[in-house]
Structure 1
Amino acid sequence: MKQTQLQGVTRVNMLTKISLITLGGLLGLSGCGDNQTTNQLATEAAVVTVTADETASNTLTIWPELTPAIAKDPVLEAKIAGLVSKMTLEQKVAQMIQPEIRDITVEDMRQYGFGSYLNGGGAYPNNDKHATPADWIALAESFYQASIDDSVDGINIPTMWGTDAVHGHNNVIGATLFPHNIGLGAANNPKLIEQIAAITAQEVMVTGIDWVFAPTVAVVRDDRWGRTYEGYSEDPQIVKAYAYAIVEGLQGSVKADFLSDQHVISTVKHFIGDGGTENGIDQGDNIASEQDLYDIHAQGYVGGLNAGAQSVMASFNSWHGVKNHGNKYLLTDVLKDKLNFDGFVVGDWNGHGQVAGCSNESCAQSVNAGLDIFMVPTAAWKPLYENTIAQVNSGEISQARIDDAVSRILRVKFRAGLFDKPSPANRPLSGKTELIGQASHRDVARQAVRESLVLLKNNQSLLPLKPNAKVLVAGDAADNIGKQSGGWTITWQGTDNKNSDFPGATSIYSGIKQVVTQGGGEAMLSVTGEFSPEQKPDVAIVVFGEEPYAEGNGDIDNLEYQRGDKRDLALLKKLKAQGIPVVSVFISGRPMWVNSEFNQSDAFVAAWLPGSEGQGIADVLFTKPDGSVGYDFVGKLSFSWPSTPQQTQVNVPLVQDKSAQAQADYQPLIPYGYGLSYQSASTDAIALDKLSEDNFSATQTLEDLALFERAVKSPWSMYIATNNERQGLSSSVANNNALNIRTMDRVVQEDARLVSFNGSELGTVGLISNFPRDLRAYSNRDSVLSVSIKALQLVQKPLWLGLACEGDCRQQVDITKLVNAKLGDWQNINISLACFAGEPMDFGKITIPFYLTTDAKVDISFSDVVIKTTSTENTIRCN
C-alpha cells in the first residue's frame, strides 16, 4: 500500500487484494443467467412508486388484438381448473417460485414442489464446468422425481428446467455453438434460423431439459449497450421474422409437431423495450413513446406469439421510470389482455427485487402486475415463498391472481406434455450424447458463420485468397475459440475458457491452416505478427476484436475500439509497413468506430461472434484449389456502422418513416444493408482508405454526471457494508455492525444522508451499479468527484473517499484533514479524478463511483455526489 500526502490529502493505491465486501462487492443485480449471488440493490423505498398511467400514454388502441396461435381447449381448461381447485395455497405459490440449481437440493424440491428451476450462466451440475451430459441428465431426473413425489405434499405436478441456450446449448461442454444473434441477423435467413433453433432444441433435450430462455428479440437503438450482440438487427422487421422462425424451431409448428418429444418450450424476451434504454445502459430506462414501443420494440413479440411462444420473460428495464417487473399495464393490459397471450410470464434474475418498494425476498407488486413466475436465485427463494403466501392471506395479493398464474403455468405444462412424457432420463433424445456437437449440427453452424460474414472492404480484389499462398495468421483472436464465441459461452461472461474447453470446435486459425495446407500453401500462426525474413508471408490475416462480455459488463460510453490501448492497430501498422497485404477479420458484438483500423487494412471483414465453427471463415476467404470461388460473401449489415465514436444511435429509418428529413438525418459511415461480394463492382464499394482518425474526444460534449442528487440516480444504488457483509438500502433507515444510516433534510425533503459510524470496525457507505460502467470520457477530462459533506465531531482516524472498479481494485483518498478544517459546516470537497488514476484503476469498468469508509467514531452527513466535467479553484489535484 503506497501512501502520499498531497495538500492535506492522503492518496492510497491499493495494489493488494482487498475485501470486496468492504467495497460493497462487485456483485450486483444482473440478468437472466447471471452467475453471481446478489443482494437487494433496489432503489431506496423512500422513492414514491409511480404507476405507468402517470408516465406514458397507455393507449391500448395502439396494440393489435392478436389471434392466439393455439385455440383454447375446453377439455384442457377444465382439467386445469380441476387441478387448481385441489391445490393448497402453498402448492400454488411453489409453482410460481423458480430457484437456481446452486441454491436448492433434491430434498427442497421434494418438500416444496417448485414449479420450475433454472441453471444460470456458469452454473453446472455438481458445480463442475466439465459436467458430462450424463451429469446433467442425472440432475434433471432427480429433481423431476422429487417434484412428482406426493409423499410429502400430496401432489405430483412435474417440475420443468429452464436454461439459457442462446446460441446453442452454450452451457454444455462440446455443444454446437452458433453465431450470436447479431451475426445471424446479417445472414437474414429465417429458414436457417429455424434450423438452428431446432438443432438447439435437440441438444438441450439430450440433457433432459424442457425449456429454453430464447429468443432475445430486442431491437437495439444504442450500440453502447452490452447486449447489442443479442439483437438480430436494428430493423424491427428482421426481428419479427426471426422471432417467428426461432420459436417454431424450438417449439415446433403449432400445426404439426408442436412441443413434441423433439422440441422445447421457448421464451420470448425481454418484455419490453430492453434494447431502447437511455444511453444504452443495461437495465436502464426506456422513454420511447407508446407508439414507438409498439412499432420498434414489440415486433419480436408479435412474431413470437404468432408462432405460439408459451412463455415471455419480463425485462429488467423501466418504461418511463416504472420497472417492467412491476408494470401491470404492460404485463397484463397489453401482453395478456390485448395481445391475448395465455402462456406464463417469467421474471428475470431477481428482477422483481428492483421494483420500487420490493426486495428479492418480497414483491407483491410483481404478482399483482402480472408476473407468474419469480426467477429467484440465491437463498432469497425461501423468504419470497413465505412472504408471498402471507401476502395472499392478508389480501395484498388476491387468490384470483394466484389461480390465474398457476393456471397459466399448468396450461403450458399440459401443452408441453410434461404430465404424460416419460421422466427426463427416459425421453427419446435423453442421453443420446452423439447429438451433442454432432457433425451435421456443426455443418449448419458452419453455414451460419459463412452467411453472417460481411465484407466491408476489398481493395484491388485482394479477396478471395489462393490457398497455395504463404499466409501469416496474427491477432489474439486467431486461435481463441472462447474469444470468437463471446459471452454466454460455457461461463456467463464467456471468460476463463481455453480451446480445450471446446472439444470438436475449430478456431479461425485452425480452419485457415486446414484450407491452406490442403491447397499447397503454408499457414503460420503468430499472435504478434512476427516472422523470420525468409518466411515473409504473401498476405497476413489479422483476427482481432472485443473481449467476451455479457449483459451490462459490456456497456461502454462510446464506440471507439481499444480506446487508449491501440495494440491491434499497432499490429496492423507493423505489417503494412513491411509491405504485406492485410486482411482484417474483426470479432465484435456490435459495430465499432475502427476508422484507423480500416485505413490500415486492404480488406476488412465483420465476423461478429461466429461461435464454435471457425472454419466457416476460411471457407469464404479462400478459393478452391482450382481458383474457383467456393463460397461468396452474402452477409449484409443489419446494424448501421458509426462514423464517429459518439454516433451511437444511428438507425436506419423505419418503413413508416422514410421522410426526406429522416433520410437526411441518417448519416452512418456505412449504411444498413451494405455488404460487398466477390461480384461487386469497384463502384459499389464505399471508400474506407483515408478516413478521419479524429475521435472527437476533445470536442465531445459531456454533462455533469449526478450520482446522488436529492435521490440516488439510475443506474446506481446505495449500500452499506462491513468487512463481513453488504446490504442494499430498501428503506430510509438501515444499520449494520459498523454504522447507522438514515435520510435527512438539508435543502429539501430527504436530499441528504446521515451516517453514524460507531468506531467498532470499518464501515462503508457508497453507490454501486449492477454492472461496471464506462467513465473513461470523464477520466480523460479535467473532471472531479464532488461531494457535499459535514462532520459533526472531530474525525480521529482516516476517512477515506474512493472509487472501485471491476476486479480487486480501488483508489481512495484520505479526506480527514479537509473535513476537520470546517467541522460542523457543510462544504464541497472536489477531488480530481486524476487522484484515483493509475494501476490498478480502470475507469472503463467502474462499479462503485463513490464510497466513504472509516473505523472512526463519527457522524458524517453527505449530499450531492456529482462527477463534474470542470474543476473549480478549490479542487484537490494529484500528481
Structure 2
Amino acid sequence: MAINAFQRLTLAGAVMAALVGCQTQNDSASAGTSKSNHVAWPAVHSEVEQDPAIEARIDELLSQMTLEEKVGQMIQPEIKQVTPEDIREYHIGSVLNGGGTTPDNNKYASVQDWVDLADSYYYASIDKTDGRTGVPIIWGTDAVHGVGNVVGATLFPHNIALGATHNPDLLEQIGWVTGRELKITGIDWNFSPTVAVSRDERWGRAYEAWSEDPELVGQYAGRMIRGLQGEPKSDDFLNEDHVIATAKHFIGDGGTAKGIDRGETLATEEQLRDIHGAGYFSAIEAGVQVVMASFTSWEGTRMHGHEYLMTDVLKGQMGFDGFIVGDWSGHGFIPGCTALDCPQAVNAGLDIYMAPEPEWKELFASTVKHAEDGTIPMSRIDDAVRRILRVKLRAGLFEAGPPSERGIAGRADLLGAPEHREVARQAVRESLVLLKNSDGLLPLNRDMNVLVTGDGADNIGKQAGGWSVTWQGTGNKNSDFPGATSIYDGIAEVVEAGGGNAELSQNGTFKKKPDVAIVVFGEDPYAEMQGDLTNLMYKGGAEADLNLLKSFKEQGIPVVSLFITGRPLWINRELNASDAFMVVWQPGTEGEGIADVVFRNNDGSINHDAKGRLSFSWPERPDQYRLNRGDKNYNPLFPYGFGLSYADKDTLGDELSEAGLKKADTQEVLELFNRRPLDPWGIEAVGAENDRAVMNSNTMKTSTVTVEAVDRNEQQDARRVVFNGKGAGHVALFADDRQDWSDYVKANSALSFDIKVDKAPSAKTYLRLGCGSYCASDIDMTEGMRERLAGAGWQTVTVDLSCFPDAGENFGLAQPQSEYITQVLRPFTIYTTGELDMSFANVKLMKGRAASAMISCQ
C-alpha cells in the first residue's frame, strides 16, 4: 500500500531524525511542547468516502430521535451488566464483552450461545414500539490475536511475533481470518488492532505492539484494517466476512514513563506525531471506522479528555469521520469526573462512553441532564450520534437482519477451521527468531532421541499468552483449546514420523539419555497492567529454568532453548547455558509451527528456514529499559532486525556477561496477589459439599461461595467473595507445592491485604494460613469485620505472622526456632459458615513489619 509524502517524512525521517536522542533509557528525558505552539499533523485521505445518501439518512434519523435515544447510542455497557430489556428501555447503541466475559458467565459457551445473545440484543434494539426509532446495536470485543474469548477459536501469535515476520501480506490474511471467526459468533466489531509503538518493554502490553519502530507499525496497521474490514470501494468492504475495526489506543500508549500502563506519555508533539501517530495514518487511509481513546496522559491531560488531540487533531486535521470510543471507564480518570458523570469527555470529543459498571444507568441519566442544561451542547451530542450512525450505515446493519441470519453466523464448524489454522501456523513459522546456533545445531534431524521439557513444553495456555480464553490468559488447561497443538505435540509428530523418539518430561528426568534436550520455558501469561515490570531481568532472576538448562550441559546433552516471551528480556545466563536459542514469542494455538522450523525434513533437507527478524531491540543489560532503533548510544545485545538463518555462522559464544541486577536472597516484600494471583499462587473456593473450584475465568462458584473479578482502582484488580450462609465455605490463595516461609518468619514479617466488607459476617469468620488439608492456623476475624471493617470501604489489614497459632509439628509459625517451620500451601484464606460479602486485593508478605502490624504479637 503506497503512503503519501507526509507519511514518508514521518515514518522514515523519524527514524533518522526525530528518534535520535528523543527517547533514551533515561526515564527523565521528557520534553513537552507549549499548547500554544502545536505542530502540523497530516490530512489523511480515507479510501472510505462519505456517501451523500448515507448522510441524508443520518439527517432523517437524527430528526426523529429523542435526546434519550441519542444518549443511548453513546453508552456502552458490558454484557454482564445489561439485559435485552435494558437495551430497549435505554436505547443502547452498543455493548462490549471484556476479556474472559462470556454469555451466562460460561467459559465454555457455545457458538450458538454467543449468537443467541447477540440476537436478543439486536431484537431489543430495533423495537419500534412507543415511537422508538429502533437503531440496530453493535457488539464490540477484544479479538487481539484471534477470537480469544471463544473456546475453539484460532489464536495467532501476538503482535510482537507478527512484527518479527516483516510480512504485511500475512497481516491482512490474519485480519481476514479473525473477522470471519468473529462473524461466526454474531459479533460485528473488533477492538483491534493495537497500533502502539512500544518504546519501553517494561510495559505489560508490549507484546500487543508490532514494533518499537514507527515505520513497521505504519506498514502493518493499514493492512490489518483491510483484512478485518475488507477493501474499501468494493463489495468486500464490511460484508458478511468482515467486521468493524478499531485502531487503538489514541495516542502514545507505548511511550509512557517507566512503561507503566495508563501513565504519562513522554514525548514532544513532534514525537507524538512521528512515532506514536504512525499507525493511525495508514489505518485512517485504509478506512478504519473506530478509534479507541487511550488511558494515557500527555502534557498532564488525560487522553479521554484531550480536546486538542481528539477533536482538533484526529477529527479535524487528520479528517477521521468515524467515532471515538472510550476504554473501560477511562473517562472516569479525568479530573473532576467519575465513571458515572463526565461531560468533559464528550465535550473533548469522545463519542461513546465505555461503561462497564453495574450502575451505568447513572451515566445515562447524568449525560441526559448535561445535554438538557447545556453543559454538553446539543451540537456535540448530534455530532457524536452522527458518527455512530455513519459507521452503522456503512456496515449495512440497518438491512443486515439479526446476527443469526448474517452469512456464516453460527457456523461452529468454521471456528478454528483448517484453513484458518494454516494461516496461524505460517505466522508461527515466520515469526521465530534464532538468536544462537552454536556449531549449526539447528535444524535437528528427525531420527533422534529427543527429550522435550520445561513448563512450556505441553502448555497451550502458556504458549497462547494473555487475551486467551481469559483476560490475563491464566487458569487455562490444554483442554480449553480444542483443536490446538502444544509445542510438544508438534515436535512429537515430526520426530516419530522421522523414525525418532520424543519423550516428554516435566522436570528434566529421562528414561534414556537423549541426543538433544529441547527446553521450552519463559514468561507466564499476562495482559495489561498486570504484566508491567520494574526491570527486564527474566522472572526477576529466578533460577529454576536456568538450573534446568545447566543440568543438561553438565551431562553433555546439547540444549535447544525455545523461549516463550511477550518482550525482549535480559537472558544472558540462559543464552550462555544453551547451545541453540530460539525466541518463539507467544505462538498461540498452532504450536506445530515451531517443529516445522526446528526440524529438518525426513531426507535431511531444511524444511523451513529461520526467517524471523527482531522488530524490537534486545537488551544487553536488564536496565536497558528504553532501547530503540535510532537512539543515541544504541548498544543492544541484538539489534533491531537481527535474526540468524540456518546459513549464518553463529559467533555469540557462551561468555556473555551475567552481571545483572543485584537480587536479594528473599524479597523484602513478597507479593501474592497484585491485580491477579502471582506465580505460583492461584485462587480456589471450597463449598459446604466439599465442592471445589479453581478460578480460571472472571467468576467461579461453589455451593456456598461465589468469587468474581471486580474493579477497584483498575480493571479487575480485586476479587469479590460472597458466602451465602448455607454451610461452611472458604476462598484461598493456593499453590500446588509448599512454599518455604521460614526466612520470612525469622525476619518478623507481616501478612498484609486490602479488604472491603460490604456485608458483615453472620457467623464466626476466620483468617486462615495453612500447609494442607489437615494443617492450618486460624485467627478469628469476626468482631474485627463487624466492628471495624463493615461499611468502612477499603482498608489495609496487617497481621504479624507469629500471631497465627501453632498448628502441629509440620506448621509452627509461633515457634521460629522449630525445624518444622512454615511450609505454606494456602497463605491467605477466609473461612466462614455464615453469610459474608467482602472483596480483597493486594495480598503480600512484608519483612520487618510484625511489630507495627494491626494484629501484632510482638
TM-score (norm 2): 0.75
Shift of the alpha carbon at 1:566?
Answer: 1.1
Q: Flag the 1:870–1:317 CA change in 2: closer, same or farther, 3 A.
A: farther
Q: Is the 8 A contact 2:161 2:431 kept in 1?
A: yes
Amino acid in structure 2 at the alignment position of 1:674: F
The alignment status of 1:365 with 2:344, answered yes or no, reads yes
Q: CA RMSD in A?
A: 3.5
Shift of the alpha carbon at 1:878?
Answer: 13
Q: Is the 8 A contact 1:112 1:153 kept in 2?
A: no
Question: Any idea what the Cα deviations from partners look like across 1:754-774, whole Å, max 9, x if unmatched?
Answer: xxxxxxxxxxxxxxxxxxxxx
2:53 to 75, 89, 97: 75
Amino acid in structure 2 at the alignment position of 1:678: Y
* Distance across 2 between alignment mates of 1:358 and 1:728: 16
The alignment status of 1:540 with 2:517, answered yes or no, reads yes
Amino acid in structure 2 at the alignment position of 1:579: G
* Distance across 1 between alignment mates of 2:137 and 2:647: 54
The residue matched to 2:423 in structure 1 has which SS?
Answer: helix
Question: Any idea what the Cα deviations from partners look like across 1:436-493, whole Å, max 9, x if unmatched?
Answer: 0010111110000000000000000000000000000000000000000000001001
Map 1:289-304; keep pairs closer than 5 Å.
289-304=268-283
2:377 to 388, 392, 398: 398
Q: Is the 8 A contact 2:197 2:255 kept in 1?
A: yes
Q: Is the 8 A contact 1:59 1:290 kept in 2?
A: no
1:66 to 44, 52, 74: 44
Shift of the alpha carbon at 1:68?
Answer: 2.9
More moved, 184-193 vs 72-81: 72-81
The alignment status of 1:128 with 2:93, answered yes or no, reads no
Q: Is the 8 A contact 1:483 1:548 kept in 2?
A: yes
Q: Flag the 1:575–1:192 CA change in 2: closer, same or farther, 3 A.
A: same
Question: Any idea what the Cα deviations from partners look like across 1:503-540, whole Å, max 9, x if unmatched?
Answer: 110000000000000000000000211013xx100000
The alignment status of 1:450 with 2:429, answered yes or no, reads yes
* Distance across 1 between alignment mates of 2:825 and 2:265: 36
Q: Flag the 1:581–1:371 CA change in 2: closer, same or farther, 3 A.
A: same
The alignment status of 1:697 with 2:662, answered yes or no, reads yes
> Please, which runs of 5 or more residues in structure 1 have no aligned partner?
1-52, 654-661, 700-723, 731-778, 786-796, 803-807, 815-837, 852-866
Map 1:287-326; keep pairs closer than 5 Å.
287-326=266-305
Question: Any idea what the Cα deviations from partners look like across 1:34-60, whole Å, max 9, x if unmatched?
Answer: xxxxxxxxxxxxxxxxxxx99744644
Q: Is the 8 A contact 1:122 1:492 kept in 2?
A: yes
The alignment status of 1:438 with 2:417, answered yes or no, reads yes
Map 1:593-604; keep pairs closer than 5 Å.
593-604=570-581
Q: Is the 8 A contact 1:583 1:601 kept in 2?
A: yes
* Distance across 1 between alignment mates of 2:438 and 2:713: 58
The residue matched to 2:584 in structure 1 has which SS?
Answer: strand
Counterpart residue number, 1:154 = 132
Q: Is the 8 A contact 1:810 1:841 kept in 2?
A: no
The alignment status of 1:258 with 2:223, answered yes or no, reads no
The alignment status of 1:484 with 2:463, answered yes or no, reads yes
Q: Flag the 1:405–1:875 CA change in 2: closer, same or farther, 3 A.
A: closer
The residue matched to 2:496 in structure 1 has which SS?
Answer: helix
The residue matched to 2:529 in structure 1 has which SS?
Answer: helix
Counterpart residue number, 2:644 = 676
Counterpart residue number, 1:718 = none
Map 1:534-573; keep pairs closer than 5 Å.
535-573=512-550
Counterpart residue number, 2:330 = 351
* Distance across 2 between alignment mates of 1:337 and 1:840: 56
Shift of the alpha carbon at 1:74?
Answer: 2.1
Question: Any idea what the Cα deviations from partners look like across 1:358-392, whole Å, max 9, x if unmatched?
Answer: 11111000000000001101213100000000011
1:236 to 204, 214, 220: 214
Q: Is the 8 A contact 1:57 1:290 kept in 2?
A: no
Amino acid in structure 1 at the alignment position of 2:564: I
Q: Is the 8 A contact 2:33 2:268 kept in 1?
A: no
The residue matched to 2:397 in structure 1 has which SS?
Answer: coil
* Distance across 2 between alignment mates of 1:697 and 1:878: 33
Map 1:458-857; keep pairs closer than 5 Å.
458-532=437-511, 535-653=512-630, 662-663=631-632, 665-682=633-650, 685=651, 687-697=652-662, 811-812=798-799, 848=842
* Distance across 2 between alignment mates of 1:174 and 1:651: 37
Shift of the alpha carbon at 1:255?
Answer: 2.7
Shift of the alpha carbon at 1:798?
Answer: 10
Q: Is the 8 A contact 2:800 2:853 kept in 1?
A: no
Shift of the alpha carbon at 1:563?
Answer: 2.0
Amino acid in structure 2 at the alignment position of 1:542: V
* Distance across 2 between alignment mates of 1:672 and 1:186: 10
The residue matched to 1:420 in structure 2 has which SS?
Answer: helix
Q: Flag the 1:107–1:726 CA change in 2: closer, same or farther, 3 A.
A: closer
Q: Is the 8 A contact 1:60 1:334 kept in 2?
A: no
Q: Flag the 1:554–1:70 CA change in 2: closer, same or farther, 3 A.
A: same
* Distance across 1 between alignment mates of 2:421 and 2:282: 27
* Distance across 2 between alignment mates of 1:668 and 1:451: 23
Q: Is the 8 A contact 1:278 1:286 kept in 2?
A: yes
2:262 to 283, 297, 314: 283
Name the % identity: 54
Q: Is the 8 A contact 1:455 1:605 kept in 2?
A: yes
Amino acid in structure 2 at the alignment position of 1:108: D
More moved, 583-592 vs 371-380: 371-380
Q: Flag the 1:453–1:727 CA change in 2: closer, same or farther, 3 A.
A: closer
Q: Flag the 1:425–1:193 CA change in 2: closer, same or farther, 3 A.
A: same
Amino acid in structure 1 at the alignment position of 2:478: N
* Distance across 2 between alignment mates of 1:144 and 1:727: 28
The alignment status of 1:104 with 2:82, answered yes or no, reads yes
* Distance across 2 between alignment mates of 1:530 and 1:95: 60
Shift of the alpha carbon at 1:809?
Answer: 11
Counterpart residue number, 1:768 = none
Counterpart residue number, 1:180 = 158
Map 1:30-69; keep pairs closer than 5 Å.
56-57=34-35, 59-69=37-47
Q: Flag the 1:562–1:407 CA change in 2: closer, same or farther, 3 A.
A: same
Counterpart residue number, 1:765 = none
2:201 to 219, 223, 226: 223
The residue matched to 2:124 in structure 1 has which SS?
Answer: helix
Shift of the alpha carbon at 1:725?
Answer: 15
* Distance across 2 between alignment mates of 1:95 and 1:359: 20
The residue matched to 1:249 in structure 2 has which SS?
Answer: helix
Q: Is the 8 A contact 1:454 1:676 kept in 2?
A: yes
Shift of the alpha carbon at 1:611?
Answer: 0.1
* Distance across 1 between alignment mates of 2:383 and 2:540: 51
Q: Name which structure has the greater RCO, CA cutoff 8 Å, separation 6+.
A: 1
Q: Is the 8 A contact 1:60 1:338 kept in 2?
A: no
Counterpart residue number, 1:859 = none
The alignment status of 1:119 with 2:83, answered yes or no, reads no
Shift of the alpha carbon at 1:70?
Answer: 2.0
* Distance across 1 between alignment mates of 2:857 and 2:637: 40
* Distance across 1 between alignment mates of 2:208 and 2:797: 31
Q: Is the 8 A contact 1:55 1:321 kept in 2?
A: no
1:84 to 49, 62, 68: 62
Q: Is the 8 A contact 2:74 2:92 kept in 1?
A: yes
Q: Flag the 1:103–1:672 CA change in 2: closer, same or farther, 3 A.
A: same
Q: Is the 8 A contact 2:262 2:296 kept in 1?
A: yes
Shift of the alpha carbon at 1:324?
Answer: 0.4
Q: Flag the 1:476–1:484 CA change in 2: closer, same or farther, 3 A.
A: same
Question: Any idea what the Cα deviations from partners look like across 1:542-564, whole Å, max 9, x if unmatched?
Answer: 00011100100000100111225
Q: Flag the 1:58–1:210 CA change in 2: closer, same or farther, 3 A.
A: farther
